[in-house]
Amino acid sequence: MNFKQLWLEGMKDWNGNLPERMSDDAKEESFWEGFIPKKTDALDDYAADIRRELLQFIEPTDDVLEIGPGWGNYTFAAADKASSLVCVDSSRSVLNHLKKDTKRQGHQNIRFIHSKWEDSVPKKQFDVVFGINCYYRMQEIDRALLNMNNSSKRWAIIGLTTGPEKPHLWEIHQELGYKVKFQRRDYIYLTNLLYELGIDVNCKIVNLERIYRYENEEQLLKDNLGVILEANYDRKATEKILRQFVTEENGILLYKHRFKAALLYWRPEEMIFKKN
């Protein structure tokens, strides 16, 4: 099987088209420019367990490189433990946000590079190279993975959150037969793609939990029924299934979702180059 092709197919929307953000850098930058100011929570709660696992790979003397840091779920924890940290991201908005937080927190050992990772040619190797949930628009995913291998001295680490899907979606799909926008790309694709590239990886599964909070019913329904693909579906039946998984506390609607993350990690192979 061609796992790069499967990865690329998973980038398309449910009509078989590649969304503009996947190929248009300006559209992607516009998204982050609008998203970052709305990010009210400093870090995602669920990231704490991934962070704890990640830090086990980092030593105090390490030079570390992070790919696609986003709003810093792992950035500052890695910088606190490592000797130095370099962050590579294709979004100036993301990097500007992190630079402000870096200055506010007083970190002196972080620097930033504005670049697409798959197009980067690092000038040095790092003890640890990692990226968590940053691969979603990398069309040259094989080159990105090889860059990780070739740039790391001791560990290369890929992190991806994965299923199970929210339970109400499975119930709606199984009981009512409706098509749903389930995830179509997963860590197993990258595991097999790495194997095709000559890299054997280890996999650590981390159990996670996220609690979604909604101030009103409209928010709840929009967030949890908007992924149903049927043009006309039984609203009452789907809402009934959804409500089985919702509780209320002090007027706030709560949806608890248990899912997992996969950490793929490996000792770097000898320098590997992409075959054309």
State the Cα–Cα distance between residues 195 and 192, nearest whole angstrom.
5
Residue for token digits 């990231």?
47
Mean pLDDT of 87-92: 96
Q: Residues of the chain with pLDDT > 90: what percent?
A: 88
Q: What is the pLDDT of residue 273?
A: 76
Q: Write out pLDDT tens, residues 36-52.
A: 988 767 788 999 999 99
Mean pLDDT of 228-248: 95
Q: Write out pLDDT tens, residues 90-107.
A: 999 999 999 999 999 999
Which residue stretches of the chain are H helix?
Answer: 3-10, 20-23, 25-35, 47-55, 75-81, 92-105, 141-151, 167-176, 187-196, 217-225, 235-243
Confidence of residue 72 (pLDDT cuts 50, 70, 90): very high
Within 10 A of 41 (CB to CB), how many other CB atoms are there?
Answer: 7
Mean pLDDT of 75-92: 97
Please state whether the peptide bond connecting residue 164 to the residue before it is cis, i.e. omega within 30 degrees of 0: yes
For strand 246-249 and strand 252-266, is the pairing parallel, antiparallel, or unpaired?
A: antiparallel
State the Cα–Cα distance between residues 198 and 200, nearest whole angstrom.
7
* Mean pLDDT of the chain, nearest integer: 94
Judged by DSSP in three states, 191 sits in: helix
In the chain, the domains with their CATH numbers are 3-164+182-207+260-266 (3.40.50.150)
Within 10 A of 55 (CB to CB), how many other CB atoms are there?
Answer: 14
